[in-house]
Amino acid sequence: MSLPLLTLLSLSLYSALRQGIAARIVDTRAKFPRFEPSLVIVQQGARSDSSTYVKMKLKAAAEAGIKCHLVQLGGAEDGIGEQEVMAEVERLNADSDVHGIIVQLPLSDDIGRDGERRITEAVSPEKDVDGFHAYNIGLLSSRASEPLFAPCTPAGVMLLLESTGVDISGKHAVVLGRSDIVGSPVCALLRRKDATVTQCHSRTKNLEQLVKQADIVVAAIGVPRFVQGSWLKPGAIVIDVGTNFIDDATRKSGSRLVGDVDFDSARETASFITPVPGGVGPMTVAMLMENTVLSAQRLLDKSQQRLVKPLKLVCKPNVPSDIEIAKSQVPKPIDVLASEIGIPGQDLELYGRNKAKVKLEVLDHLRHRRDGKYIVVAGITPTPLGEGKSTTTIGLAQALGAHLGKAAYACVRQPSQGPTFGIKGGAAGGGYSQVIPMDEFNLHLTGDIHATTAANNLLAAAISARFFHESTQTDKALFNRLCPPKKGVRTFAPIMFKRLDKLGITKTNPDDLTDDEKAKFARLDIDPEKISWHRVVDTNDRYLRKIQTGLGPAEQGKTLETGFDIAVASECMAVLALATSLADMRDRLGRMVIGESRAGVPITCDDIGCTGSLAILMKDAIKPNLMQTLEGTPVFVHAGPFANIAHGNSSILADKIALKLAGIEEGESDDKNGYVITEAGFGADIGCVPLSLSLSFTLVDAVLMLASSSRAAWKSSSTSSAARRASSRTPSSSSRPCARSRCTAAGPR
């Protein structure tokens, strides 16, 4: 005698889920306007069945208010294989605007099952909304952990079971199938609900007898109408996951979709049964949307936390030397710190374990944030060695970040090797308030100073070469060298149009210039007595302060008196610190004046024609460097212009990036706003004032000025404990002779 039947039509449940997801998105977006769950489907080739499933997912995403995008890659016949699909997955992993990634299976035969597994596991577990990644499957199998995402179909199965109102605990469940996508995950989820689970497959003996004992049957074995109604225990719950096409002459397509259970016979015995189609399928799509929204919510929460886990600092009563303290602390991996403060992976370039460059694109990714609070550390009366400001900057950042739990970013300059190997020493701070690793900070770091040196000296070499050629050649010969005919045609290089504009020449064809215009264009007429551009070297070498060049016989007696400055005194370094983008840096480099003509007309880098070459040499140097303090709080180290010849602060770009990282977005409370502590070198008159004049962004919050010196820091009761400890290691202003005169190779230019 058959029991009453209730067919589980999941469409109503799916509709309720879809509406609930859409409502949650609307509610979250009302508070955080930029909240937009985003799902990307990667499809290789154009299989008709895959395309049908993709269209279904795109439609469901649109109905739920989820942004869904299809990346349609070619098939194997188009040369698209495992490597190309993998590259697209890795690109999407790095895109912080993408919350969920699906690789539509199956892939082409040349990729195979092993290739499919590698590609599936290449998807970041944090974006694995399908729940197929080995990391999520592994966590699902452990009772002691929770996966980031449960596989969609198994999760849909569990939701259908729970919708019956039947208590799963203690029930005997038989699962037909052992795939990693359905069978095994369903077993794990049922065990988590305290069901007794028997997993069967195609080689299981006495399958019918095992099914007859089951209170719950989940069929995912891939054989049409395999389970018969006579196999079922009266009143059993049947979830049919199968999707099989069988011939049907009555259908226009010639086939129809059936499940793994013979529906007509099973409905006479089962109390609950899902139809095919219209049963598990819609629930799978619903759980995919649910996982995508869950991923977006997690990433939103993570972006707002920005919590730095401090490193434990052990302070000894007898304070060791700075180098001993620095060596005693093991820095956290810099990519871990970057993740803590919310720098997307695609915006980070690692330089080993302890330092990294931050791409300027991070400003685009953080454009939705308001700027944080801005603190400038300067000295009212600088000490002879300039000590105190770096220590106070780092100490304040540690106090705010490691002890008060605020988002705090220090911004300091990269030290020159001249002072580092001279009397003054390094600039990593002091005592228990330092940037680590100290040796990497004080020496080459990521090569920015070397790149600036190369750019500066390239321009110096070009100036000398231009002076020599103008001194030994006619106007016609100079013009032919600048605009040589190629296959009988002369053209201007792009940089040359700036020279033409300066001269008021509007012609674009070199052959159209008059002899007088050609002479004006080709001859800069450099005055050797007015060349102000020096070569640089990042070492205190006093014998290079004034030199004579061009003494070789090939220079035909065209000598020049010049000299070397310290590398950080180069105007290229000043430009690096002031630039707001790569294009802005290029423009600023082009406007640098290198001397005058005999008529007193300023000559620029654009006139020499070296601007693009300098920008190329410095294209990586423009990216700020990320390091950390002794307590694991973030430090941006960038640029190093001396304050006695320039503005004496780290770069505008480092400050701008730090301000965005420290800031908050619409919907966040003001108490989450963070701080950027930037150092202005030397005294307030030649450090802070030029900084305030050079800022290329608007400050919303008031600027707090901290006046620091080596003695005042530890005497002030308001100074942070970290700064006081550090100041105990800072020598007094009278303990060493003045070294300012040895900080540059040639003094102020």
**Active site (catalytic) residues:** 57, 104, 130
Place of tokens 């956290």: 332
Q: Is the dihedral of CA 459, 461, 467, 472 positive or negative?
A: negative
Contact (CB, 8 A) for 627 and 438: no
Q: Which amino acid is at 471?
A: S
Strands of the sheet containing 38-44, edge to edge, are 67-73, 38-44, 100-103
Say which residues have a Cβ less than 8 Å from residue 228's Cβ, sequence separation at least 6: 262, 265, 266
3-state secondary structure (DSSP) of residue 284? helix
Structure tokens at 434: 């330092």
Q: Say if CB 565 and CB 536 are below 8 A apart.
A: yes
Of 528, 534, 530, nearest to 560 by C-alpha is 528
Distance CA 656, CA 475 (A): 47
Tokens 């006619």 sit on residue = 474
Question: Given the structure tokens 């406007």, which residue do they identify?
Answer: 591
Residue that has been written with the tokens 């390239």 in this structure = 458
- Residue pair 106/116 in contact (Cβ under 8 Å)? The answer is yes
Q: Hunting for tokens 């090939």 — which residue is that?
A: 554
> Cα(405)–Cα(411) distance, rounded to whole angstroms?
18
Pairing of strands 356-358, 348-350: antiparallel
C-beta separation of 654 from 388 below 8 A: no
d(CA 184, CA 137): 9
Strands (E), 655-714: 675-683, 704-707
Please tell me whether residue 603 adopts helix, strand or coil conformation: strand
- Among 601, 604, 603, 602, which Cα is nearest to 586's? 604
**Phi, psi for residue 716 in degrees, rounded to 5:** -70, 125
Q: Look at strands 547-549 and 560-562 and give their pairing.
A: antiparallel
